[in-house]
Amino acid sequence: MPAKVVHIPTVAGAVVAVYNLEGVKDLKLSGEALADIFLGKITRWNDPKIAALNAGATLPSTRIAPARRSDGSGTTAIFTGYLATVSPEWKTKVGAGKSVDWPVGQGGKGNDGVAAVVKSSPGSIGYVELAYAKQNDLSYAAIRNKSGQFVKPSVEATTQAAQGALAQIEKDVRTPIVNAAGAGAYPISGFTYILVYQQSKDAAKGEALKKFLSWAMTDGQKMASELDYAPLPASLVELNKKTIASLK
């Protein structure tokens, strides 16, 4: 950026593993299994690694068809950041970022593109924001978190992920919140940010922006849940308010 900027987290969001598998409603997955699927190492739904996580479930031998983003995105950055955190092999071979060199998978543009691929392809699995999974009536997996609990993505579980990483976030708001501590924390979570110049060139616009950001941290937070995004923990709201007050 040509001048100093500040990062203001606005809400937290869940990236969910959506799948299309007839007769399987409550799939459970670990980060390691997810990484192996997108590395092309797990190719069938009844693979022993998946079966071990889903005791009592009847998993078909259907071939797994991974779906992923074809365009760069924050959703991909959160998803691959999580895989790199839980899988040393993924970290070494693929890494994390808004765009990576995928070992396997059919690409779809945008969250809606991936959702469309999964919805139309039996045996498929992909990743989208929680809102897109709900809007497209897609099944999504519970993911085993850092505490060993299987957690379904939800607004509450996403806020708990932010809460679990607060100590690090208070030092640097850009800290990722994937695989955060806490029994109820959903592990594939991340913030959306507004990036703002520390010093505005236009006084009137700068003042209007400060007013908007202040609203976003107060009344605006109340609107997050109905849009399937998680409101920020109170302590992070207070931290943001200090940052907003410092804008010139």
Report the phi/psi class of residue 104: left, alpha or beta, with left for phi > 0 and alpha for psi in -120 to 50: beta
Residue found under tokens 């943001």: 240
Angstrom distance (rounded) from CA 187 to CA 14: 8
Strand residue runs (E) in 32-120: 65-69, 106-108
**Domain 5-11+155-177+191-245 indexed as CATH 3.40.190.10:** yes
Q: Residue 9: its pLDDT value, please?
A: 96
The residue type of 123 is G
pLDDT exceeds cutoff 90 at 25: no
Other Cβ atoms less than 10 A from the Cβ of 176: the count is: 19
CATH class of 13-151: alpha beta
Strand residue runs (E) in 31-105: 65-69
**Could you read off the pLDDT of 157-209 as tens digits, one per residue?**
999 999 988 889 989 999 999 999 899 999 999 999 999 999 999 999 999 99
DSSP per-residue letters across 70-83: SS--HHHHHHHHHH
Cβ-based neighbours of 179, under 8 Å, separated by 6 or more:
31, 82, 85, 86, 145, 146, 187
Q: Residue 2: its pLDDT value, please?
A: 92
**Could you read off the pLDDT of 45-71 as tens digits, one per residue?**
999 999 999 998 999 999 999 999 999
Q: Residue 120: its pLDDT value, please?
A: 93
13-151 matches 5-11+155-177+191-245 in CATH topology: yes
For the chain, what are the domain ranges?
5-11+155-177+191-245, 13-151
Q: Classify strands 139-140 and 65-69 as parallel, antiparallel or unpaired.
A: unpaired
The strand order across the sheet containing 142-144 reads 28-29, 142-144, 150-151
Angstrom distance (rounded) from CA 64 to CA 147: 27
Mean model confidence pLDDT for the chain:
95
pLDDT band at 136 (very low <50, low <70, confident <90, very high): confident
DSSP per-residue letters across 138-186: -EE-EEE-TTS-EE---HHHHHHHHHHTHHHHTT-TT---TT-SSTT--
